[in-house]
Structure 1
Amino acid sequence: MKKHVLLLVALATFFTAFVSCSSDDPKTSQVAVRLVDAPGDYDEVNIDVQDIMINAGDKENGWQSLGNLTPQVYNLLELTGGIDALLVDTEIPAGKISQIRLVLGENNSVVVDGETYPLATPSAQQSGLKLNVHQDLVGGVKYTFILDFMVDKSIVVQGNGDYSLKPTIRVTTEAASGAISGVVNPFEYQVEVSAVSGTEEAITTLTNEEGKFMLHGVPAGSYSVTFTPDEASGLTAKTVEEVTVVLGENTNMGTVELE
């Protein structure tokens, strides 16, 4: 059965020899791939994930499935507030990872104002979106690659009212980034959380039904974190300055009170 390959993510160059020739050195790295969502103005965005593959960068091996994945439809809008979907957790040879490919099936849809529409997948998108990360994998170390699906930039409304999928995904790894988390009070209203450092593009997410949030894949540095509540709440937006993010660590802001 032919699958629609909708996304090609370049993470570095290609698999190389093991990190060390010593028999005492680990020869494999643990690799996990998790899916999270940036906010979008829809009721649901359902993505049919069929497989994740890697490219070893040589003609002999070519594309290979990472395996350990059960095909499933994910509602991306549920993957906020620190919730993510673990797609794959497996071991691969240590060295430089080349490319990964997110393989989607045909059961993709978007729900708008309670009505479900199919998400068309134009053939022009089958070659995928390429992003360079340049990550070496050290033997014995676990790496988590985070696919941040930016829904607001990934869905295109056609002139006839139909919807199509044009994947825009920000790829990061916890080995080269950190995270910011916390809880917003009161939590009865959804709040947009946005972190900005200098002139870099803002990293955003939404609180969940318990007021919890987590910004994944945040590069190390100092951030201004802004909390923007729903207008219907009557609450005032708040900005917290100088929130420090450290590589491989989660900066927990605790409880952020809005008034």
Structure 2
Amino acid sequence: MNKNLALLLPSLLLAACGGGGGGDSPQMPPTQTLATLAVSMTDAPACGFDAVNVTVSKVRVNQSSSANENDSGWTDITLSPARKINLLNLTNGVLEALGTTSLAAGTYNQVRLVLDANTGNSMANSVVPTGGSETSLDTPSAVQSGIKMNANFTATAGQRYDLVLDFDACKSIVTKGNGKYALKPVVKVVPTALNGINGVLEAAALGDGVTVSAQQAGQVVAATVPSSNGEFALTRLPVGNYDVVVTSNTHAAYVVGGVPVTSTTAMVPISTTAAPLKLLALSNMGSISGTATLTPASATESALLSAKQAITGGPTVTLRYTNADLASGAYSIGKLPLAAAQYSAYSATLPLVFAPAASTPGTAKYLVDASATGYATKSTPSVDLSLANATGVNFTLVP
């Protein structure tokens, strides 16, 4: 989400995107002790939406991780006017520059992203469900105080530091009944360099709801959707090994296990234009639905449901995930392939060779996790879709 917000951006990009604003901190130190901070935003893909819009008014940084919005020590980048951004335009490493400011040299441990609130009939923050019309997106009180992110970066006098905020639209949108939507913001500060994993899907696979994600231990770290020419990039990944999962609406899942990201500045290809990744194994699809309720209930938090399989001799991966409805707890995970996943261990020799893989709980069977911040995760050992869609798969989460 892979889909999934620092990078050395040229000055031209900042100017083209209209970045601007200045620090609001009083008593700024002399110029020779100042650093320059540039902030941009990127996104993982959203599930089931043609647009996810947020209106950014300010980015704030503070050296204290515990500072509240009224404490001293904040340096602000103010966007004037506030900028409405469609997050779905920010995949495959694309950035939206939010501006630059001078700030005192030192280590900074907190970042806040401040959004404009919807007022009256305003569509400052909105979604466009696939095939639907623009609908207001309810926002929490964090839009006033700012969406808080932990950070740990050092700004050096006389140098520039580029900060990228990764807004995961898929995990950030929840339904709340009656056709309404709410923002449950999932935003993180991601590494500076444009490194990661890239590849190319054959043209026949495009236009099929394809999503590509990089995962570790079944947790989605980054996700994206291929461009119109089939290229995809899972960018700004911390050094480590990743499992790449390709899902579509009509084919079995394709999984590449153990892709090594060993550099903070280089991309690791798993397919190329000359050797594209081909989706050949067609599959029928099933769905899992039920409720995931929180006890005690929360006005802002909902459960995240993840459908997983453990590939024999390979990794455990998430094939689909969704948020439960904020009001009722209802959820539905659709487009789950009934055919066996196609698996290949990573190799630098391309093209990769895929083969059907045995998995636990088994072909057409899924492990489902339900998780929410502040609540203990619960799991089902096996949901069988081989005969029919599964309904009534219910969870009650407690702290």
TM-score of the superposed pair, with normalisation by structure 1: 0.74
For 1:110, the equivalent position in structure 2 comes to 127
CA 1:130–1:49: 2 relative to 1, 3 Å: closer
Matched-pair contact (CA < 8 Å) for 1:191–1:228: yes
Which ranges of structure 1 fall in alignment gaps of 5 or more residues? 1-8, 10-14, 16-25
Equivalent residue for 1:204?
Answer: 223
Q: Is 1:76 paired with 2:93?
A: no
Residue 201 of structure 1: CA displacement?
4.1
Q: CA deviation at 1:42?
A: 0.8
Asked whether the equivalents of residues 143 and 173 of structure 1 are also in contact (C-alpha less than 8 Å), the reply is: no
Change (3 A) 1:128 1:30: closer
* 1:33 and 2:44 matched: no
Tell me if the contact between 2:244 and 2:256 (Cα under 8 Å) persists in the aligned partners: yes
SS in structure 2 at match of 1:153:
helix
| Aligned partner (choices 225, 231, 241) of residue 222 of structure 1 | 241
Residue type of the partner of 1:215?
Answer: L
Contact preservation (8 Å) 1:237, 1:258: no
Any gaps of 5 or more consecutive residues in structure 2?
A: 6-24, 26-31, 119-123, 280-399
Q: For the structure 1 residues 27 and 241, does the alpha-carbon distance in structure 2 shift closer, same or farther, using more than 3 Å as the test? A: farther
1:49 aligns to 2:56 (yes or no): yes
Question: Which portions of structure 1, spanning 4 or more consecutive aligned residues, are displaced by more than 6 angstroms?
Answer: none
String of CA shifts for 1:219-259, please: whole Å, max 9, x gaps.
1012222222342xx5x543333422245313141524214
Q: Could you say what the CA RMSD is over the residues aligned between the two structures, in angstroms?
A: 3.2
Judging changes above 3 Å, is the alpha-carbon distance between structure 1 residues 131 and 53 closer, same or farther for their aligned structure 2 residues?
Answer: closer
Higher relative contact order (CA 8 A, sep 6+): 1
Distance 1:72 1:124 in 2: 17
CA deviation digits over 1:46-78, x for unaligned, max 9? 111122222355999543322577632111111
Matching of residues 158-237 of structure 1 within 5 Å: 158-174=176-192, 178-186=195-203, 188-189=206-207, 190-198=209-217, 200-231=219-250, 237=253
Amino acid at match of 1:219: P
* TM-score normalized by the length of structure 2: 0.50
Q: Give the deviation of 1:163 after TM superposition.
A: 1.6
Distance 1:81 1:89 in 2: 23
Larger Rg: 2
